[in-house]
Amino acid sequence: MADPSRADSFPLHRRDVAKQIHDAGSEKLLIITGLGSTNWDFTAAGDCERIFPLWGAMGGAIPLGLGLAIAQPEKRVLVVTGDADTLMGLGSLATVAVQMPDNLTITVFDNERYGETGMQATATAHSADIAAIAAGSGIPVTATVREQSELDIAIPKMLKERGPAVFVIKVRAEKLPFVLPPKDGAYLKDRFRIALLGDAGIV
């Protein structure tokens, strides 16, 4: 029987993981962060114009990353979102498998909690296994990461290995101070387009 409190003692801390991924990424990596905690994590790691943080649209991070990967096949796209956001839009994993963009990596920070609404347990605190769901959907590269040694192996694969790929990183359930990215949607859109397209990004 699952223990919904087990995530309270997971060894990996989300801000540390975000910093490691952020620092390992090349200057050309395009990053979509899902609403809530992964936004704060990557802002704390070092906000930049190549990161597009979602301020809403729960379940929308993976579809947005998929569209970006298809539109920009020469660019590496990394989606970093949470277990709750992923569970909201599980069907998007099947769509990723159908489209099969080899430049897309999806990384799920799984703390087994709804972090923005009171830390209630998600389905992954029980029997749901996002990596298994991704594999069953047809995504060729999947893994669950629980320890630092596994993360050290996984990060280069996230950034360079042919995808699509889904890496579920089990991170400790912890309430952390907000480190907020800009809230102006038009500004976020414009800075991301300029980072991607240069001056042609603004028309």
Q: Mean pLDDT over all residues of the chain?
A: 93
pLDDT for residue 105 = 98
Count, in order, helices (H) and strands (E) of the chain: 8, 8
What's the Cα-to-Cα distance from 71 to each of 18, 66, 132, rounded to whole Å?
Answer: 25, 9, 27
Quickly state the pLDDT bin for 26 (edges 50, 70, 90). Answer: low
Quickly state the pLDDT bin for 5 (edges 50, 70, 90). Answer: confident
Q: What percent of the chain has pLDDT over 90?
A: 79
What's the length of the chain? Answer: 203
Mean pLDDT of 139-156: 97
Residue pair 155/19 in contact by the 8 Å Cβ criterion: no
Place of tokens 């050309």: 28
